[in-house]
Structure 1
């Protein structure tokens, strides 16, 4: 039997790449996977991020294309984590990666058995038109949740505006989305707030999301009991049933957790040993994802809050690049490590987040509310202390409010938290074992487990997705 060949195309940012690679692993492990051939496209410096999945699935092919030259991307940078934090870094990376269009066309047309579909990240909307030119299907992979995606589609399609162009607090609503989410203008995507009709960059980003909406299929890293109303809304918006909720996608097995995102200052074994010495539910885990780097003022306020609280904590800090340091970001206050020695563990670089959240000692998670972190909190049953900063994080935080899963600690990437208030919240988060957020977290953890076992809603959606893929291959062979 001939196999169905698909091209998997991740966006070069760890928070995007890792869930798509995990989903690719899920595809291969599912029934009928023997009928599918997979090629993953990356640029040279992102190839090491495939080491884990390639070691587990050596049958996967790789397509390594040179990173396109771009005046907006520093020489040698090929991943969003290497860019200075600002509102345009994702757009600059999107535009640069768009330069792979012509090399991809050339590869497809010279391949003896080219893919019948492209499974690509939501930031690669241009691959929809590329697929159409090639006469194949494009499927969107969304590392964001269904509510966030619904708001993004509504925003870029309908282009809501403010009555007062100077009022950053004016509330914008998205009436077509269930429960009518409302957000102050400043919480919308900075790329949207800076959008000017006719501007090439703005139109490129808008076209990407309109193309996502027009694509043949949509895969969302979520599950029905968490976002059922929004998943159903996406089916109505796309006008078809090819919307698959496959989450929470599970981490790839059979590899050390520290290999997933790069080097770390503390080994996984050392982290586990440290946590083993702590009481149940008394440790706060602090992490703001793989891209966010706090300003030095925010770093100082957070460090002071942790210090004043007296709670045990693990603080994962993204290693700042040279551009971060020069811009006043990412500096740990002098002497902090010594002052909290024994009570706090500071990890610089990649942290094995799932391992940490799964430990019995962790009782709360202070997070930026990136969707991957939200799902990892849900699957481990750890309540959230929410500090959304940008992108889809305010939308995710609003969903957490709806679910009664989080306590809002601070808002915004330019906001410096009050260290006294922060210390109080940290203490309260690990004081009460039966607080409402903890009980709700346990309920959602059980729902996530039900979705991802045999017969669960997400497993069924993965199987449905594969059936549709195989059918594409059969149709191509006829």
Structure 2
């Protein structure tokens, strides 16, 4: 890091993984940094900028100094269709290495773009899955931080498992073991806590090596979390990495007005006002919200079981089904011709496509969230004091479930034991399990009331973290200082 006395206006360059779950917090981070006096450039491609254009327009209207660099996606050079500009559009496992290659090829045009920018860039914040950001920072001779989209708990758990070489002695990926180095006994399996960055997957060795090098040589780690949520694990992560960790979250709280919450991540597939008016008509804490994020793909038999469980519960709900999932004829037929939507009319809303999740979770009528445990969704739920029914699918999601259920005790598990990947979903969670799970979330008295009390109290604490003088704001100011030194 440069240590000269000269101070200049900080200009942060944020390089997110081209995935909604990483682009969304990147935009939140940009808004926060710009609000505190920094110029910010968010690096995207045309298709990804189009997705967040409503957010970009709102930021522009607020006169915040945030720029969106739309670099051409190097599809032909990486032998990948131009339509695969976001990870949720890559439906073939064989194309994932090409997708990561395409992102790395943005390095040269990005350096050329940044050399013409004024004020000049003073700090790079690159996603953990964009390790080539270290080369950009090196060429520009500026400091670089890594943004991890994972929880600090997940990062500590993965690091401790790797350092203890636990996987070398395991032959069964589903055999339970105690995660070493935690303050309480928590079990995992290799399937639930996979090696970082596909490091054991053929074809990903170079990317894994670069990712580890990028973390070893970075000037700090930025997380979508806060001391009020994960103080012990943030400290532990600093100890095991030797890096300063800056918890500046929960990042969803950067969106303070209704308009920003409504368009966070993408243009909603439903009129936001219509959705909120429907929620306005419902009693407080009476609605279950069901959504599995942007990347997960639920197979038709499982979708039908989820719907049947929601119907049998008799509870009010909002259920998000992706457009790609609706392409299955049996799903569309079951929703309409077989009468599901008609039977639940009045108490159930099906959103087909992208939902205004931030606005929905912030509404007082929502009393529970059935979630895939992506860390963005977890922080949104906690920020709004909403308990969770956990339904992890892959990657860090099982570790996040452990945070929700075993550490924070603000959720209940649906009982998923093995990763669920596209085209390989074999174990179906039955409608009776779904019904029991959502009823458990809204149960009166006993454990249900205690759980709601805990998550409400936790929500109040994390909201204070992003207020003036809060831990996240103080960390944000430390980032501004890093970007101010040339």
Q: Which whole-Å CA distance do the structure 2 matches of 1:206 and 1:170 have between them?
A: 27
Q: After TM superposition, give the deviation of residue 194 of structure 1 in Å.
A: 7.4
Q: 2:232 aligns with which of 224, 229, 232?
A: 229
Counterpart residue number, 1:407 = 412
Per-residue CA shift, 1:36-70, capped at 9, x if unaligned? 33222211112231333333345333322111126
Contact 2:33/2:480 (8 A) holds in 1: yes
What's the offset of the Cα at 1:281? 1.5
Alignment of 1:164-183 (within 5 A): 164-165=170-171, 167-176=172-181, 179=184, 181-183=186-188
When residues 364 and 94 of structure 1 are mapped into structure 2, their CA distance, relative to the original with a 3 A threshold, is same
1:348-395 superposed Cα distances (whole Å, 9 cap, x missing partner) = 122111221222221111111111111111111111111111111100
Work out whether residues 20 and 143 of structure 1, in 8 Å CA contact, stay in contact via their aligned partners in 2: no
The 3-state SS of whatever aligns with 1:320 is helix
Cα RMSD for the two superposed structures = 2.8
Cα distance in structure 1, aligned partners of 2:134 and 2:30: 19
Residues of 2 paired with 1:72 and 1:188: CA distance?
A: 31
| Larger CA deviation: 125-134 vs 286-295 | 125-134
User: In the alignment, which residue of structure 2 is the partner of 1:369?
Assistant: 373
1:195 to 1:372, Cα distance in 2 relative to 1, 3 A: same
Gap change, CA 1:60 and 1:112, over 3 Å in 2: closer
Q: CA deviation at 1:14?
A: 1.1
Bigger shift: residues 143-152 or 363-372: 143-152
Q: Deviation digits for residues 71-126 of structure 1, max 9, x if unmatched?
A: 5643322112222286x776553332011122233334565753122112221122
User: 1:215: Cα distance to partner?
Assistant: 0.8
Residue 156 of structure 1: how far off its partner (Å): 6.0
Q: Does 1:432 align with 2:444?
A: yes
| Alignment partner, residue 4 of structure 2 | none
| 1-structure distance, mates of 2:399, 2:95 | 20
Is 1:38 matched up with 2:44?
Answer: no
CA distance in 2, matches of 1:155, 1:207: 20
- Provide TM-score, normalisation by structure 1: 0.88
Mind listing any 5+ residue stretches in structure 2 that lack a counterpart?
Answer: 1-6
Q: 1:215 aligns with which of 210, 214, 218?
A: 218
Q: Cα–Cα, structure 1 residues 90 and 288, in superposed 2: closer, same or farther, change >3 Å?
A: farther
Partner of 2:59: 53
1:294 aligns with: 298
| Structure-2 residue corresponding to 1:24 | 30
Instruction: Pick closer, same or farther for the CA change 1:265–1:27 going to 2, 3 Å.
Output: closer
CA contact (8 A) 2:34 2:66 kept: no
Give, in angstroms, the shift of residue 139 of structure 1.
0.8
Separation in structure 2 between the aligned mates of residue 90 and residue 153 of structure 1, nearest angstrom: 24
- Return the offset for 1:23: 1.3
Indicate if the aligned counterparts of 2:73 and 2:85 stay in contact, CA closer than 8 A: yes
Give the aligned partner of residue 360 of structure 2.
Answer: 356
Residues 178 and 230 of structure 1 are in contact (CA less than 8 Å); yes or no, is this contact kept in structure 2? no
Q: How many pairs are equivalent? A: 461
The TM-score with structure 2 as length reference comes to 0.86
14-23 vs 185-194, which deviates more?
Answer: 185-194
